[in-house]
């Protein structure tokens, strides 16, 4: 069948380093760290006492307080970035076929704050069940896409993907596919997460997944550094407006980039650890390249998963070298998680936005917090350490991997008329 072209016409971001897409990009290119001591609860008794929180966000600036009380923060975040992205796209919802407009969202955990509060409230009571009537709707992950769909009247496909830290990229790939095969013309796709809670920090601490660099939070997320000791938990959301190319062109839309391919794979190895040889990462990047019809030599920049964990950074880098061969030395590689922390199910969305903005501005954001070389990494690879680099950026590949062995890669390309 003839596959339709898919382009990005709008973006929206709410992140630990900027509360809209412009501020997010400025934070990235200036090498700003979003990590700081936790303010959402008292972390004194936790091994990790810091996170990458969203800062200065007042939900009442965006959503009526009465409505906001029906939503967990992860859904509030989803609505805020969707509105920004839709406005950015210039789409007039009265002039498109809403039956052919979808919402495909991603979240790895969903309403963790709501679940924690309701269970604690019950446990502290006398055993009488007194639960908020919105407990279940606030908690379940699909209400994020549901609220977005209701707000804008989008009557096409409407669901949430759950594939741990790959959830948002999973959602983007699904939306891309629906547009590509002609099921819909427009989609709001992305992801949101709000897991900086006692349960979130405590749970990841129990797994020994988080950095415990409490004496220097701003330098704790250090992908590819010899002294990396785990990831920094982040929160926020990102949204992209994906649109069929002819549909976008007909309304005179500004186009950021073309989404040309998506790959999927599974490690089939372990519930939390990556495949030791990076097999899943290798396969997903190959699948994305094949899907896009792009050779490895055409890729200019890889926005890596790069979480700052001892094993994950190594396996991903090994996979890159096996897929790209000698061309790996011509690439820019960077982990924007060094600045944003790890937004779990929302990570792929803000990293997709970083990728399209790298194409727009012809600038690669850095991997900050590099202090000590690790002999596990080839010194000839360009990890874009500590400072953004100008270069020709026509093609960007973005990786996201999740617990359970879920792997997704997407490829953006500068628009070719």
Task: Supply the residues annotated as catalytic.
Answer: 165, 305, 342
Kindly tell me the number of DSSP H helices and DSSP E strands found in the chain.
13, 14
Taken in order 98, 61, 111, 81, the sign of the CA dihedral is positive
- DSSP lists the bridge partners of residue 266 as 406
Q: Which two tokens stand for residue 64?
A: 């009526």
- Helix ranges (H only) for 4-96 are 21-29, 65-68, 73-89
Compute CA distances 299 → 11, 113, 302, whole Å.
22, 40, 8
Q: List the structure tokens of 377.
A: 């990494």
Alpha-carbon torsion (353, 412, 313, 408), positive or negative: positive
Residue 32 tokens read as: 């700003």
Other beta carbons within 10 angstroms of residue 279's beta carbon come to 21
């Amino acid at each position: 069948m003839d596959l339709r072209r898919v382009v990005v016409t709008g973006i929206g971001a709410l992140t630990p380093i900027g509360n809209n897409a412009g501020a997010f990009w400025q934070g990235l290119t200036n090498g700003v760290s979003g990590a700081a001591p936790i303010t959402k609860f008292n972390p004194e008794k936790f091994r990790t006492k810091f996170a990458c929180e969203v800062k200065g966000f007042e939900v009442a600036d965006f959503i009526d307080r009465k409505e906001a009380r029906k939503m967990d923060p992860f859904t509030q975040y989803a609505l805020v970035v969707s509105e920004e992205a839709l406005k950015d796209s210039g789409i007039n919802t009265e002039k498109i076929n809403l039956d052919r407009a979808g919402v495909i969202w991603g979240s790895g955990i969903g309403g963790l704050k709501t679940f924690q509060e309701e269970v604690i409230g019950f446990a502290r009571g006398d055993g009488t069940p007194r639960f908020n009537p919105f407990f279940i709707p606030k908690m379940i992950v699909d209400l994020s896409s549901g609220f977005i769909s209701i707000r804008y009247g989008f009557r096409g496909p409407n669901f949430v993907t759950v594939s741990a830290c790959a959830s948002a990229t999973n959602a983007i790939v699904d939306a891309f596919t629906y547009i590509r095969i002609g099921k819909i013309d427009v989609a709001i796709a992305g992801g949101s997460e709000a897991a900086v809670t006692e349960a979130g920090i405590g749970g990841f601490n129990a797994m020994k997944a988080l950095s415990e660099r409490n004496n220097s939070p701003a330098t704790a997320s250090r992908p590819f550094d010899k002294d990396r000791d785990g990831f920094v938990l982040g929160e926020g959301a990102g949204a992209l407006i994906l649109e069929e190319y002819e549909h976008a062109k007909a309304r005179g839309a500004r186009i950021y980039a073309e989404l040309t391919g998506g790959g999927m794979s599974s490690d089939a190895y372990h519930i939390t650890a990556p495949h030791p040889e990076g097999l899943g990462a290798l396969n997903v990047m190959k699948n994305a390249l094949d899907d896009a019809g792009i050779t490895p030599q055409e890729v200019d920049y890889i926005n890596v998963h790069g979480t700052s964990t001892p094993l994950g950074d190594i396996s991903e880098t090994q996979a890159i070298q096996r897929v790209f061969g000698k061309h790996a030395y011509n690439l820019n590689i960077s982990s924007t998680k060094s600045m944003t922390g790890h937004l779990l199910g929302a990570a792929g969305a803000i990293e997709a936005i970083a990728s399209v903005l790298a194409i727009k501005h012809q600038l690669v954001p850095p991997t900050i917090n590099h202090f000590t070389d690790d002999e596990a990494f080839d010194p000839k690879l360009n990890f874009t350490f500590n400072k953004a680099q100008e270069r020709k950026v026509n093609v960007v590949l973005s990786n996201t991997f999740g617990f359970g062995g879920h792997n997704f890669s997407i490829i953006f390309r500068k628009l070719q008329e």
